[in-house]
Chains A and B, each alone.
Chain A
């Protein structure tokens, strides 16, 4: 006790002393204070961006140094809680490997030799090169790869510059098909955060979500609360995920067959009259077409394809029917799997509609919109001239956000339909997160200019001509985070918790300076970033002064507005039969089409997340790296026994195209099927400037050397790659028991869909107000 008191007094004396000596004494006093360990520290509220859930945080700052981050208890989403990554934000700011100064390439591309330059020099170089490209090829020959909160400023600048070619990561490799599937059905996406009422639900169905390993703080809290309350949980996953370990039903599905399961569920609900008949007749169109389309998709049929017992399929469907509308069928988030993804997402949306779980407690709730103002930057780009539409083949009619990445990469490699000569990569790891990296590297080698704006020396930075160091989310302001997809809607604020280190700069400043150097009209008429924020918030009657103290302002929500509902679809109803798909000559009701099976002797490559890492972004973080420094490959225990693998063995994975990744440790477990393997995404990084992450574990992305694009959205289906396992230079043989019969049985079950696409007039969807969502 004596020591505590003494140290306490010491600490107090020190704090009082320093605050008296400090020149910013009046400012410092205004800040609320708290205890860090035994020391007095200042509290500064802001918003996290270790992932894109964007929790409210409070930075604890001592003498200008960030010592700890905690959750902001006022924030309606995370309510004072933050995950490991949020806690580890401290180590992002002080990561010794951070990009500190603008760097210009001096060696060969990819060699990693750099010269430090000033910002002036850097921007002169960038604008000079870009003007050269514009003169030769036009402004659309520069493409942008955006990701993150500040991506909007670069998008605005690039539109103003005249290029429509944005390869939006969060749409193309993550939530695109899911958003489009829901929009086609309900006229609106499930939102981010997803508008699922876990707080009231009596049943949760996760099909393609490993919530719990994917940590989205507020949602995981509600998930845990729901389970404690006794809500039933169905988890569909070939792997025994954390969520599966808490489930009432774990459906160990054959990978690639989710659509068959969903259609069988729909079949049971309809056949047993367990759907919400009143809701369906009042709000939906196309029920008869749907009923006809799914009539043969019985649980017995689905069993042959999914390898889930028909009785379990029927039982889970009945449970949903009995509990309707209080059933949450999670829309998933990363949904770009097999190239049939919009149709799968449509099936989920239809299931939600049949259960009447839209706008009803325990299902999906409605957004509460609050009007904000825009700080416009006049666009000059012609969207119809993006590299995808300019092909004129009419492919990917629902590529709604930007351009499919593979179109941009293809155009860069081949010069068709027109050449792309410059890439600006903002916050996106195009080597480790955009599939087919082999093609990406090939494309990079054809570029005249590649600029990377990032916090860390990521793998794309290795190939850059110019690297621009960005301030971390803890060192900058950002456009306000306006969230209507939460029962208590809120506006959250990001402000610097500490000053930017070295020569790292705010992205808004970079975008604005770029335009200035370009000699283009300043299209950010608002002035400083503070002005941008105040202008955006002006209709709400709040200012940065209010937000800087609390970090967040919440508003009363109306998650379950009075019925009747209106839907922003062409028919104004929930479209079980999609008129927009029919107009595009695509199956307007979901039908089952098989995906390619693993060839004999190959495992399907599955990948996913770990709760302590965000994609590739956090692997180099001291604390997160300590918890998980590398990934391992999950292999079924029976398969491992037959292959003679032992725990901790190091192996290589070789895919169908001969791409070899390794060495990687095996993790032998009964918790995965024997026809697939699983690795956590984000490892195996190639840039030696990332000293902790360099070559640790393996890159799933390099093994994704091919994709199947989703025909609706053009999003890249990535779970279509297969691997063999090599140990000590020898490829190990394994064929699942009954492999041939199983495949034969599944193939025999295929029913040729007999869906007539009825002639409909081309339809325009009702105008939609979109919220910007630039992360995944």
Chain B
């Protein structure tokens, strides 16, 4: 099975926003909403030593990271959001109730609620296009070839090379690392700047989910452990005492 990933070469990217609009046109993304977006870091003075400064600037191209351990999936109360076997995290609109818990759970702000459909929408690596043998719309239009899409399980693919041989990095922090599959490469200083300026936010697990995660789950676990313990105690008591004969 495949494991799809996107790699963005920040040295190639000129921040032209073509990807954002190709995506908008392809999927009818409404005004002020985004499946993919481009944000400038703006010229930033970094210390270089000896009291000198160096200016660095780059563009952060963001989208759903199709994480290995997505926080949006457990946040979804209906099972509409799930991770496919090929790694793509999708939203089943027939099951989505538009509660928005997954929107808060995403560390990358990659999800939005469609104002007309009242369903959650986000990047799905253009899964329907992939089925037809087409590239994701953003990759197709990217004028500098900064966006590379492919299968991380295929050692001949370009993404494989960029991720495993050229140190492409995902946007993670010591607090939040859920295995993003969108990577950045091309210039370490620029990638660092992007990660520092646009760090993943701590996922807010929504009430029902957090209720389940924080309260219900430990309770159930406790219950399971307790009943197991009880059973073992009973077993050993029985073992050492010997069976009592029925009267």
Residues of A at the B interface (CB closer than 8 Å) are 3-4, 8, 34-38, 67-71, 78, 80-84, 86-88, 90, 212-213, 215, 217, 220-221, 223-225, 227-228, 240, 242, 244-246, 250, 611-612, 622-623, 626-627, 667, 669-671
**Interface check B113, CB cutoff 8 A:** no
Q: Chain A residue with minimal CB distance to B16?
A: A611
A70 touches B12 (CB 8 A): no
With contacts A220-B143, A224-B146 taken as known, whether A4 is within 8 angstroms of B17 at the C-beta atoms is: no
Q: Which of B64-122 contact A (CB under 8 A)?
A: 92-94
A83 touches B18 (CB 8 A): yes
B26 touches A221 (CB 8 A): no
With contacts A3-B94, A35-B132, A227-B12 taken as known, whether A623 is within 8 angstroms of B21 at the C-beta atoms is: yes
**Interface check B145, CB cutoff 8 A:** yes
B14 touches A242 (CB 8 A): yes
| Smallest beta-carbon distance B13→chain A, Å | 8
B55 touches A217 (CB 8 A): no
| In the bound complex, CA of A223 to CA of B11 (Å) | 11
| In the bound complex, CA of A69 to CA of B53 (Å) | 43
User: CB-defined interface of B38-58 with A at 8 Å, one 1/0 digit per residue?
Assistant: 000011110000000101111
A221 touches B143 (CB 8 A): yes
| In the bound complex, CA of A188 to CA of B165 (Å) | 47
| Smallest beta-carbon distance A37→chain B, Å | 6
Q: Which of B1-54 contact A (CB under 8 A)?
A: 9, 11-12, 14-18, 20-22, 24-28, 31-32, 42-45, 53
Of the listed stretches B134-142, B196-204, B234-242, chain A binds: B134-142
A627 touches B20 (CB 8 A): yes
**Interface check B214, CB cutoff 8 A:** no
**Interface check B128, CB cutoff 8 A:** yes
B143 touches A81 (CB 8 A): yes
Residues of B at the A interface (CB closer than 8 Å) are 9, 11-12, 14-18, 20-22, 24-28, 31-32, 42-45, 53, 55-58, 92-94, 127-129, 131-132, 134, 137, 140-146, 186, 190
| Smallest beta-carbon distance B68→chain A, Å | 21
10 closest A-B pairs by CB: A671-B43, A224-B144, A87-B21, A212-B14, A84-B17, A245-B57, A68-B25, A611-B16, A224-B12, A240-B43
A4 touches B25 (CB 8 A): no
Report which of A36, A213, A225 forms a contact with B145, defined as CB distance below 8 A: A225
A228 touches B42 (CB 8 A): no
Chain A residues contacting B31 (CB-CB under 8 Å) are 622, 626
Report which of B9, B32, B56, B57 forms a contact with A626, defined as CB distance below 8 A: B32
| Smallest beta-carbon distance A65→chain B, Å | 12
Other than the known A68-B25, A83-B17, what 12 A-B pairs have Cβ atoms closer than 8 Å? A35-B134, A37-B128, A83-B143, A87-B18, A87-B21, A217-B143, A225-B145, A245-B190, A250-B55, A667-B42, A670-B55, A671-B57
| Smallest beta-carbon distance A751→chain B, Å | 33
Report which of A88, A611, A622, A623 forms a contact with B15, defined as CB distance below 8 A: A611
Per DSSP, are chain A's interface residues mostly helix, strand or loop, or mixed?
mixed
Most A C-beta atoms less than 10 A away, residue of B9, B15, B18, B44: B18
Report which of A8, A34, A87, A240 forms a contact with B25, defined as CB distance below 8 A: A87
| In the bound complex, CA of A357 to CA of B190 (Å) | 33
| In the bound complex, CA of A220 to CA of B17 (Å) | 14
With contacts A225-B145, A669-B43 taken as known, whether A67 is within 8 angstroms of B14 at the C-beta atoms is: no
| In the bound complex, CA of A86 to CA of B20 (Å) | 12
| In the bound complex, CA of A242 to CA of B190 (Å) | 12
B25 touches A84 (CB 8 A): no
B24 touches A242 (CB 8 A): no
| Smallest beta-carbon distance B187→chain A, Å | 8
